[in-house]
């Protein structure tokens, strides 16, 4: 359990730095991909709800520190995103080929809506039209494009340990 946690912490640290310095400023079709969110979804999907919740909290904390924004804002949203994705993976989705795409699509939309609501609750000015109509569709498409390679990478990094031994089954 410790090795995957260390790997996930390092990977998410790297991804947050890349997101805030490079990916976040990319303007592609009026939106920017959220590599950090896609990576979190992939990590949570493969490792379960509790792991996903911790990964989300850690990612959110790094993001809030890097962007000098209200501490706890992203942690709250990403904890819930990681938890939900992990639970989806534990129950139904993990071994289905469409699971990464479904979870990335759902989490991208829910994260945007939840962030908008939280901004409103904290009194930050936020335009629902810009966030949900202008920016969300291109972000959703770009995140879905990223989902498959990112999930494949995470699958290699967080592959379950190979079976310790083969079982001999004797009939009769």
Partner 1 sequence: MRVAALGSPVRRTVAPSYPRTSGPLKRRLVVGLLVLASLAMITVYFRESPNGGLHDFQSVGASALRPFEVGAQRIARPFRDAYGWVAGVFHAKSENERLREEIERLRQQMVINQAAVQQYEDLSRILKYKRGRNFPQDFPRDRAVTASVLASPEGEFQQRITIAAGSSSGIRQYDAVVTADGLVGHVSKVLRDQALVTLITDKESAVAARDASTGAVGILRHGEGSALFLDHVPKNKVVKAPDLIVTAGQQQGRLPALYPQGIQIGYVTSVSQTDIDEFQNVQVVPFVDFSDLDTVLVLVSDKARPNAP
Chain residues in the site for partner 1 (CB under 8 A): 1, 4, 13, 17-18, 20-22, 24-27, 30, 32, 46-51, 53-54, 56-57, 60, 62-73, 75-76, 79-80, 83, 87, 89-90, 94, 115-116, 119, 122, 124-127, 130-131, 134-135, 159-160, 162-163, 166-172
Q: How far is the CB of 147 from partner 1 (least distance, A)?
A: 19
Q: How far is the CB of 61 from partner 1 (least distance, A)?
A: 8
Q: Which is nearer to partner 1, 22 or 152 (CB)?
A: 22
- H/E stretch holding 103: helix 99-121
Q: How far apart are CA 82 and CA 92, in angstroms?
A: 15
CA neighbours within 13 Å on the CB side: how many for 156? 6
Q: How far apart are CA 97 and CA 104, in angstroms?
A: 13
Q: Which is nearer to partner 1, 8 or 102 (CB)?
A: 8
What is 116-127 written as a DSSP string? HHHHHHTT----
Q: Which is nearer to partner 1, 134 or 152 (CB)?
A: 134
Q: Which is nearer to partner 1, 40 or 53 (CB)?
A: 53
3-state secondary structure at position 43? helix
Per the CB < 8 A criterion, the answer to whether 45 and 151 are in contact is yes
């Amino acid at each position: 359990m410790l090795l995957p946690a260390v790997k996930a912490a390092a990977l998410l640290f790297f991804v947050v730095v890349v997101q805030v310095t490079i990916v976040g400023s990319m303007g592609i079709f009026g939106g920017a991909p959220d590599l950090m969110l896609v990576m979190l979804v992939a990590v949570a999907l493969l490792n379960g709800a509790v792991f996903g919740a911790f990964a989300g909290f850690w990612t959110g904390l790094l993001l809030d520190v890097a962007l000098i924004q209200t501490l706890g804002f992203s942690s709250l949203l990403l904890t819930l995103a990681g938890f939900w994705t992990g639970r989806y993976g534990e129950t139904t989705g993990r071994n289905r080929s469409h699971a990464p795409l479904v979870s990335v699509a759902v989490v991208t939309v829910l994260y945007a809506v939840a962030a908008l609501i939280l901004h409103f609750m904290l009194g930050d000015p936020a335009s629902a039209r810009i966030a949900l109509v202008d920016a969300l569709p291109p972000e959703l498409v770009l995140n879905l494009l990223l989902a498959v390679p990112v999930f494949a990478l995470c699958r290699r990094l967080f592959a379950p340990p190979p079976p310790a031994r083969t079982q001999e089954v004797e009939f009769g």
